[in-house]
Structure 1
Amino acid sequence: MPAPSPSTSDAAASLCILVVDDDEAVRGSIACHLDRLGHRVIEARDAVWALELFERHRPDLVLSDVEMAEYDGCWLARQVRERDQGGWTPIIFLSALTEATDVAAGIAAGADDYLLKPVHPIVLEAKLHAMRRLCRMRAQLQALSDELQRANVELQRLAWHDGLTGLLNRRGLDEHLDAAIGLAQRSGTPLTIMLCDVDHFKRYNDALGHHAGDDCLRRVAALLKQLARRPMDSVARYGGEEFALVLPDTPRAGARTLAHAITRVFGSAALPHPDSSVAAHVTLSGGITTCDPGTATPAATLLQRADEALYLAKSQGRNRFASL
């Protein structure tokens, strides 16, 4: 009488099982029984072939004879464990050996359990139920680990980015600036720091309200991000209405070109400013400093020089950039 076909729930829980035995009759008998239970079976007649199949298919379970010619099951278990780092594939040894030392040697090599030959179908099925539970637990743990990793990535993003503008915050700026300084020293290329300030922003808030002020800062951030668009460039909200640009491999001449572009783009954007003594639209003042190739300048010193240059630009009438 033919065995009943596996139910939908059994099929959903079916395993991919690698059966390794140099005795074709034993291997075929076990494979036939596993197939009737609804599992997908891969067969190997020796340990070397089994290892190749393991790397190709990554089965859910390995059922391996211990005593085989040339390379035995212990060798196979050790090889599987070396290639399965970070994961866990259950290995069950099939053996007629019952001595405690033999069992201990197998476990030490990487096996998880033993089945005595000849394998009883009921015992084998019970072991498979246990392996299915372990596979479900492993999948749940992996899903939890993936979720935690995504959460950590998001937490790091939040820790490094400003909630209002989406730009780097002060902490993110410090990290990027330190990395940029190290890169400039190693590659012998110039590094430019630019600090920008929205002119008369307090007056903007007083005239239009803080909600409009937040919208203004988001628009300013978006425009600066578009202008500093090279992959290595970074833009940060330095504080309040101040923004910082870190521009690797940018000499003084390149920084001046970007400064002119910023002034021109903000003029074209014409974001209305109802109470500015500089222009009818939102304008920026900026300070620029460049670290020459091969110069080891601390981040705090670069930021201080850029801030002094920003103060100079404001004292000269705003809506302009100065460099030190």
Structure 2
Amino acid sequence: MAPAASAAPEHEPFCVLLVEDQASLRAQLCSELQRAGATEVLQAADADAALQLFKLRRPDLVLLDIRLPGSEDGYWVAQRMREAEPGGWTPIIFLSGLDGDGDLWRGIEAGGDDYLVKPVRPIVLAAKLRAMRRLRDMRRRLVQLTEELHLANQRLNEMVELDPLTGLVNRRGFDRILHSEILAARRDGTPLTLMLCDLDHFKRYNDTLGHVQGDECLKAVSRVLREVCMRPRDTAARYGGEEFALILPGTPRSGAMTFARALGKLLASRALTHPDSPGGHMLTLSGGITTCVPDATTSAESMLIRADEALYAAKAQGRNRFFSFEMQMDTIEQRHL
């Protein structure tokens, strides 16, 4: 008998399920498997015990005798094992005294991966064990690499959709999220609010204090927007320059106006100075609001046009306010109701 102790690497456990009804042969094979590098050998003498051990322990390899006591043979056991591991794969090697092509084909059809004719030579068994162990390690590594690639792609997508200055969602991410929320609101029959915001007289801010200080101001405003977006699906985005956008799923018209007033108060509480503002010495924000329950005609473009028109109306009425066409009022008028 050729020595097989070094045939399989020992760096990781390797569990084998041996299904054989003859006790003497089962003991012999168990001993040879252990010499070949199997760290654990589970033993079963019939179909029911084999399936129970397979489901309970999920071995790395199954050595399965075709002829088993009772009404079910090894082919049936292999089929049940395959059904018990959807999406997984455990190699199954059949053991049989038969060596015809038909027997081999039937074994493959039943879910087997290889076929050994009894009596099995130890060197052949050791070689099969080593090959299956190598395949197991390669498959695990492939699964690990796939998971790592998925996580890397997630991080890359997050980086691609983030504005580097403010840390808010950028225009690309905004377009994707708005489209997705329109579809969700249309499906659920729920309201969706979009706000476009613009810092009042921000060009004069940059001209007076410089672009470096202007960038710091944009960061401060972004922190306010993140703070006011308290629900998980509320999204604050940098739309471009000193323009920002807010996507508020499940927010009706009255709720949108209340949200806008809260945003204005929060910004005012931060007391960000604007030394060249015609309306005073504090930085203010103007915004346009549109709210709808999306239907088949609703698109991201139509909502953006509506919000932009409302933003223009807010500026025309004196800035430092939000205007809603649906409510036909701005936040200043609503405050006095």
- Fold in common (TM above 0.5): yes
For residue 45 of structure 1, what is the amino acid of its counterpart?
Answer: A
Q: What SS does the aligned partner of 2:168 have?
A: coil
Question: For residues 226-269 of structure 1, what are the alpha-carbon distances to aligned partners after superposition, in whole Å with 9 as ceiling and x for unaligned?
Answer: 11211232222212211111112222211111111111111111
Question: What residue number does 2:27 align with?
Answer: 28
Q: Contact 2:186 / 2:293 at 8 angstroms: preserved in 1? A: no
Alignment of 1:102-121 (within 5 A): 102-121=103-122
Q: 1 CA distance for matches of 2:26 and 2:252?
A: 71
* 2:244 alignment partner in structure 1: 243
How far the C-alpha of 1:173 sits from its partner, in A, is 2.2
Give the letter aligned to residue 21 of structure 2: D
Aligned position for 1:209: 210
Q: Call closer, same or farther: CA 1:17–1:184 in 2, change over 3 Å.
A: same
Residue range with higher mean Cα deviation, 36-45 or 235-244: 36-45
Cα distance in structure 2, aligned partners of 1:295 and 1:119 = 68
Partner of 1:311: 312
After TM superposition, where is structure 1 displaced by more than 6 Å over at least 4 residues in a row? none
> What's the offset of the Cα at 1:296?
5.1
Partner-residue secondary structure (3-state), 1:11: coil
* TM superposition score normalised by structure 1: 0.89
**Aligned equivalents of 1:97, 1:292: Cα separation in 2:** 69
Q: 1:283 to 1:111 in 2, by over 3 A?
A: same
Q: Gaps spanning 5+ residues in structure 1: where?
A: none
Counterparts of 1:265-276 in structure 2, within 5 Å, are 265-276=266-277
Q: How does 1:195-234 map to 2 (within 5 A)?
A: 195-234=196-235
Counterpart contact for 1:199–1:318, Cα < 8 Å: yes
Matches within 5 A, 1:65-214: 65-69=65-69, 70-214=71-215
Match of 1:301 in 2: 302
Offset at 1:136?
Answer: 2.0
The Cα offsets for residues 166-215 of structure 1, whole Å up to 9 and x where unpaired, read as: 32222322332233223333333322211111122223333333333333
Distance 1:203 1:51, change over 3 A: farther
Which amino acid counterpart does residue 32 of structure 2 have in structure 1? Answer: H
> Alpha-carbon deviation of 1:13?
3.5
Distance 1:211 1:96, change over 3 A: farther
Any conservation in 1 of the 2:15–2:38 contact (CA below 8 Å)? no
Cα distance per residue 1:261-289 (max 9 Å; x no partner): 11111111122333322332322111111
C-alpha distance in 1, partners of 2:49/2:277? Answer: 79
- How many residues are treated as equivalent by the alignment? 320
Partner Cα distance (1:300, 1:288) in 2: 14
SS for the counterpart of 1:311 is helix
Q: For residue 292 of structure 1, report the CA deviation from its aligned partner.
A: 4.8
Q: Please say if residues 13 and 132 of structure 1, whose CA atoms lie closer than 8 Å, have aligned partners that are also in contact.
A: no
1:63-95 Cα deviation digits (max 9, x unpaired): 111122322222222233333343332111111
Distance in 2 between residues matched to 1:240 and 1:68, nearest whole Å: 75
Partner of 1:291: 292
Q: Matched residues in 1 for 2:79 and 2:227: separation?
A: 54
Runs of at least 5 residues in structure 2 that lack an aligned partner in the other structure: 326-337
Residue 10 of structure 2: SS of its match in structure 1?
helix
Aligned-pair Cα RMSD in Å: 2.5
1:182 & 1:239 partners in 2: Cα distance? 24
Identity of aligned residues (%): 54
